[in-house]
Amino acid sequence: MSNRWIQPGDNVDITNERKKCTFDIEKMSAFIHGGEDKLQRRREILEYVKSNKSLGDPQPIEFMTRNERVENASRKIVEMTNNTDQIDGSDFFGEGMYYQALTMGRDLHAMSLHYVMFIPTLQGQTDDEQLDHWLSLAIARAIVGTYAQTELGHGTNLSKLETTAHYDPKTEEFVLNSPTITAAKWWPGALGKSSNYAVVVAQLYTQGECKGPHPFIVQLREMDTHKPLKGITLGDIGPKLGINGSDNGFLLFDHVRIPRRHMLMRYSKVLPDGTYIKPQHSKLGYGTMVFVRSIMIKDQASQLGAASTIAIRYASVRRQGEIIPNSGEVQILDYQTQQYRLFPQLARAFAFLFAAYEIRDLYMKVTEQLTHGNTELLPEIHALSSGLKSVVSWDTAQGIEQCRLACGGHGYSQASAFPEIYGYAVGGCTYEGENIVMLQQVARFLMKAAEEVKKGSANLAEICAYIGRKGEQHSRFTSVDSYRDEDIVSDLEYVARQQVFRAYEKLRKAQQQANSETAWNSCSVELCKTSRWHVRLYLVKNFLAKVSTAPSDLRAVLHDVARLYAFDIITSSSGNFYENGYMREDQMNEIREGVYKCLHRIRPNAVSLVDSWDYDDRELKSVLGRRDGNVYPALLEWAKQSPLNKTEVLPTFDKYLGPMMREAKSKL
């Protein structure tokens, strides 16, 4: 079959890898990206971006100063959003994210939170009148907004945010104030220098009572001069581990007044006299967070997929060492240790991407239900998205680092793209909810489900229905070849269920001896383990279910990848499966052999599997991961672009090194 990834002049080794492929790459790409029509749209968007020079960078961003990066990012985002007719604006999850990735790279920009948080919050939290006023301004880019929630002293613990909004019924205004230094808003993207509006989360006080954190829309800067308004202090927080094209910022209020109607009032309200109307359901505001986390999960999957692509392609062209003496150096991808390092990362990328699709679909379903006042699924999907955010971002960060290490010394160079990928992706472990705190939120949901099961009144959603099932007492495993998908799921359900009730019983006993928060803290490690198993179970179930929907000629190779993902989880946590004699050592040893069998079967398809993710060099931005495999000439050309190479002799020689050497020589 023809292969669009093979072209004249390519590295011989990577070409030979592609010739080994046993499946239709185009069909696999279409399956990964949601259909042939979506795949073709990706390529149309790619061609547009590549043909528009104003959407590109004048030089590799690695050689830019921070000021240059911020300016370059601002220039590109304006150009990009001037041309949004190139994409389906309603499909940010698909076309929007791809268009942005091709244009902006692995960086944030002046309008990142405008589109991902500011506009979705307006759509989800404003009443009809507010929506009519604010949404058109935001969509037209007449204002640039951000989302200011995290503070210098508090992040995930929203109940303790310190920024206050006191309602004054005499003027029908809220008075925003930062009573302490730790109340300073800290971290919001584009807050420092770019945004002139923000959704600000503050503690609402009315009629002498605190009603907890609520969102308000606040103007920060003059519309014409862009100077901060009176009573507002804000600025950039400085360079970070990654995303340095973004001016993440700080913000302090000194008794700033805003109109009453600048409180977002879809669910909760403050009437002119100060009367507070609470929301019908305490979790109605979760919808926006679920949407953001679905985007995060897809983004993390894409970054791990990119890292896997770079490392696997490079491993196919890098030759080092001999397996058979005097037979010549081999591709490092032939080493089982390299396969063991890289293939599970690719498997995780597949699992995470398919989970992102599922969460997106669940979000759309819940959104539709909310319009009819149905909140039944909201707690379940919020808990699941919180858990996925935590597990996926952590595994992605670890996976990217494994891919970097697998590329040896060249992986340390910014030419590899790994530093940029890691710096971008690892932030996901803390923003939008610190991971350990997120896991404990999931655990609260699971403990409630366990309580219902214990009382015999459980009516659990499918996502956690396994908690109420009795299940098998021993694994049905007989051999790897006969290990059915339903048996894999059953084994994982056993371990997840055991962990749920282990944590539940530990917590129940602790609560008999201490107050609830002290008891929870004493059990928090086990509770986090519980959440992780809940999420791992979901990821495996969803992955296997997705594979079953693939075209028949793709299922074999996808099944190898899915089984590798499941086997890796099982074998890396073997002790959990030995408990109560559920699984024997000989069974675990055979599953471990199953990992190696999966590696062996995936090996000839490895390069083609990463090709099927359809990354263009424009998106990868990696010398090591080039499509053509011609890594070494490209590395030399990349290095020549260093600003240090603009002159043969640096001023440092005349100022410091030259005099040092001349003086030393004169003394000899």
- Residue 150 annotated as binding? yes
Give the helix/strand (H/E) hosting 167.
strand 164-168
Q: What is the pLDDT of residue 372?
A: 73
Distance CA 609, CA 588 (A): 28
Q: What does the pLDDT read at residue 494?
A: 97
Model pLDDT, residue 92: 82
Give residue 284's pLDDT band: very low, low, confident or very high (50, 70, 90): low
Pick the catalytic residue from 95, 151, 401, 432: 432
CATH 2.40.110.10 segments of the chain: 146-277
Q: What is the pLDDT of residues 238-271, one digit of tens each?
A: 999 999 999 999 999 999 999 999 999 998 999 9
- pLDDT for 1 equals 65
Higher pLDDT among residues 124 and 317, named by residue: 317
Query: Per-residue pLDDT averaged across 211-230, rounded?
Result: 97
Contact between 246 and 72 (Cβ < 8 Å): no
User: Which of the four pLDDT bands, split at 50, 70 and 90, describes residue 362?
Assistant: confident
Pairwise CA distance, residues 102 & 537, whole Å: 33
DSSP 142: S
Kindly report which listed range (190-194, 285-289, 294-298, 630-634) carries the lowest average pLDDT score.
285-289
The pLDDT of residue 375? 73
| 599-626 residue pLDDT tens | 999 999 999 999 999 999 999 999 999 9
Q: At what angle do helices 485-511 and 552-571 cross, to 10 degrees?
A: 40
Q: Would the pLDDT of 285 be above 80?
A: no
> Which residue from 438, 574, 447 is spatially nearest to 523, judged by alpha carbons?
447
Helix (H/G/I), strand (E/B), else coil: 630: coil
Task: Please check the confidence at residue 287 and state whether its pLDDT lies above 80.
Answer: no
pLDDT above 90 (res 407): yes
pLDDT at 283: 61
Give the CATH number of domain 27-107; options: 1.10.150.120, 3.90.79.10, 1.10.540.10, 1.10.3720.10. 1.10.540.10
The pair of structure tokens assigned to 322 is 């001999």
Q: Examine the pLDDT at 197 and tell me if it is beyond 70.
A: yes
Rounded to an integer, the average pLDDT of 364-370 is: 79
Q: What is the CATH number of domain 286-456+488-608?
A: 1.20.140.10
The H or E element containing residue 372 is none
Q: By three-state DSSP, how is residue 173 classified?
A: strand
Q: What percentage of the chain exceeds 90 in pLDDT?
A: 87
pLDDT of 157 reads 82
Task: Give percent of the chain above pLDDT 70.
Answer: 98
Q: What are phi and psi of 438, to 5 degrees?
A: -60, -40
**Assigned token pair, 82:** 């001037």
The residue-averaged pLDDT of 537-559 equals: 97
CATH 1.20.140.10 intervals, the chain = 286-456+488-608
Q: Is 648 among the residues known to form the active site?
A: no
| Predicted structure pTM score | 0.94
pLDDT of residue 602: 98
Tell me the two tokens of residue 366: 């819940």
Asked if pLDDT for residue 651 goes beyond 70, the answer is yes
The boundaries of every CATH 1.10.540.10 domain in the chain are 27-107
DSSP assignment of 529-580 equals HHHHHHHHHHHHHHHHHHHHTS-HHHHHHHHHHHHHHHHHHHHTTHHHHHGG
Listed in order, strand segments (DSSP E) in 189-262 are 197-206, 209-219, 232-236, 249-253, 256-259
Predicted local distance difference test score (pLDDT) of residue 486: 97
* Pick among 3.40.605.10, 3.40.50.300, 2.40.110.10, 3.40.50.720: CATH of 146-277: 2.40.110.10
State yes or no: 34 annotated in a binding site: no
User: In this model, does residue 556 exceed pLDDT 80?
Assistant: yes
Residue 16 has pLDDT above 90, yes or no: yes
Average pLDDT, the chain: 94
**What are the tokens at 227?**
């100077």
Mean pLDDT of 498-518: 96
Write down the pLDDT at residue 558.
98
For position 541, what pLDDT does the model report?
Answer: 98
| Sign of the torsion formed by the C-alpha atoms of 23, 29, 30 and 31 | positive
What are the pLDDT digits (tens) for 41-72?
999 999 999 999 999 999 999 999 999 999 99
- The whole-number pLDDT of residue 449 equals 93
Sequence-distant contacts of 568-574: CB under 8 A, at least 24 apart: 568/344, 568/347, 568/595, 569/492, 569/536, 569/540, 570/488, 570/491, 570/492, 571/595, 573/495
pLDDT for the residue 380: 83
Query: CB neighbours of 370 closer than 8 A, spacing ≥ 6?
Result: 284, 287, 378
Task: Decide if pLDDT at 462 tops 90.
Answer: no
- Whether 282 has a pLDDT exceeding 70, the answer reads no
**In terms of pLDDT, which residue wins out, 331 or 366?**
331
Cβ atoms 306, 619 nearer than 8 A:
yes
* 208: confidence class by pLDDT, cuts 50, 70, 90: very high
**Range with lowest mean pLDDT among 11-15, 357-361, 453-457, 623-627:** 453-457
pLDDT score at 432:
83
Task: Look at the alpha carbons of 625, 631, 634, 639 in this order and tell me if their dihedral is positive or negative.
Answer: positive
Mean pLDDT confidence for 402-418? 97
